[in-house]
Amino acid sequence: MGQGIDLFAKETFPFLSLFRPGILTVTEDIRTAGLFLAKATIHEITQGGRSHLHHLDTPA
């Protein structure tokens, strides 16, 4: 890996890079993702599906 093929993974904490340094990783903040999903769900229920929320989280 990392020489003839690239592998990319999303993870909740830096784990893969410890054992497979050839894997390209980005860490996802699951607390932020969960909070947004909860807010989006409540918004969809209260707005009757008329409005859609979007969120773009950038890796640190």
pLDDT in tens, 21-51: 888 888 888 898 899 989 988 888 888 766 6
Helix (H) or strand (E) holding 23, with range, is none
pLDDT confidence bin for 60, thresholds 50/70/90: low
The pLDDT tens digits of the residues spanning 3-14 come to 778 888 888 888
Structure tokens at 26: 């980005």
**29: Cβ contacts below 8 Å, ≥ 6 apart:** 57
Q: What are the percentages of helix, strand and coil residues in the chain, rounded to 5?
A: 35, 15, 50
Chain-centroid distance, C-alpha 31: 10
